Amino acid sequence: MENFAYHRPAKVADAVKAMKKAKDGKFLSGGHTLIPALKQGLANPTDLIDLSGLNKGGVKVGAKSVTVSAGTAHADVAADKGLKKAIPGVAILAGGIGDPHVRHRGTIGGSVANNDPAADYPSACLALGATIHTSERKIPAEKFFTGMFSTALKSSEVITAVEFPIPKKSGYAKFPNPASLYAMVGVFVAQMGDGSVRVAVTGAGPGVFRVPEMEAALAKNFSAKSLEGLSVKSKGLNSDMHASAEYRAHLIGVMARRAVTAAK
């Protein structure tokens, strides 16, 4: 690990200012991705701007949406009673991230900013049509996740919150990589108030993506039965030592049916 300057601003505007001043700065949230990268020398920032001093809003349940502030740990999202009732799929998802250590340190802002292709949250964001609030603007999820580990964020832009619209029903099912516990395949299913359905898949491809055929079938009839016989092509899916693209394609079908069955 190289030396770096450490900042802990109390205001979002100061975090942005500190980043603009830094030669090669990095925001630090829960540190569960960034600290290992520093230790291995994969990231060598000149400045670390710790966001843990920013005002923590936690989870706010509104009439039409739930807003989770960026610094909220996964365990706090999973345990929030209001969110559990409004969007059960998101609570289940947060409660299934990694292990208890990860859930008590890792944050939604860090997870979304990192856009790991095997992270859980991007699927909920895309399926629910979430809005990512930042220090400068509001970015719809469709425009936010731009590919493997990349997002629409500018280098000095801070995520302040993630806003999820409240659906009629939501469900999440994940097949964890047995070693890392990240999603080998995770499927988030959301049925919105107008009856439309969105299905988002994480872990299987280079980035989170939707499955229009499943969405159309579920919009007609929201049941696991509607998905029988529907399969996703393995072409373009990830293939690694843990699972081939064909196995991931198979798991998308299984997880989608489980997510629909679990949807509340």
Partner 1 sequence: MTEGCVYDSDSGQLLTGSYMDYCMPRAADVPSFKLGFTCTPCPTNPLGMKGCGEAGAIASPAAVMNAVTDALGVRDVPMPASPHVVWKAMQPMKKAAE
Ligand X SMILES: Cc1cc2nc3c(=O)[nH]c(=O)nc-3n(C[C@H](O)[C@H](O)[C@H](O)COP(=O)(O)OP(=O)(O)OC[C@H]3O[C@@H](n4cnc5c(N)ncnc54)[C@H](O)[C@@H]3O)c2cc1C
Query: What separation in angstroms does the CA of 110 have from each of 50, 81, 114, 198?
Result: 11, 23, 6, 24
Instruction: Rank residues 36 and 212 by Cβ distance to ligand X and give the closer one.
Output: 36
Binding-site partner at residue 95 among ligand X, partner 1, none, CB < 5 to 8 Å by type: none
Residue 160 is given by DSSP the state E
Tell me: does residue 17 bind partner 1 (CB under 8 A).
no
Amino acid, single-letter form, for residue 166: I
Tokens encoding 238:
């990830």
The CB-of-148 to partner 1 minimum distance in angstroms stands at 17
Tell me: does residue 180 bind partner 1 (CB under 8 A).
yes
The CB-of-101 to ligand X minimum distance in angstroms stands at 7
Give the sign of the dihedral formed by CA 220, CA 223, CA 225, CA 230.
positive
Q: Is 35 exposed, middle or buried (0-12, 13-18, 19+ CB in 10 A)?
A: middle
Binding-site partner at residue 175 among partner 1, ligand X, none, CB < 5 to 8 Å by type: partner 1
Q: Residue 88 and residue 17: Cα distance in Å, rounded?
A: 37
Site mask for ligand X (CB under 6 A), range 85-124, x = bound = ------------xx---x---xx-xxx-xx----xxx---
Kindly state the number of chain residues that form the binding site for partner 1, as judged by CB under 8 A: 11
Contact residues toward ligand X (CB under 6 A) are 26-34, 51, 70, 97-98, 102, 106-107, 109-111, 113-114, 119-121, 153, 158-159, 180-182
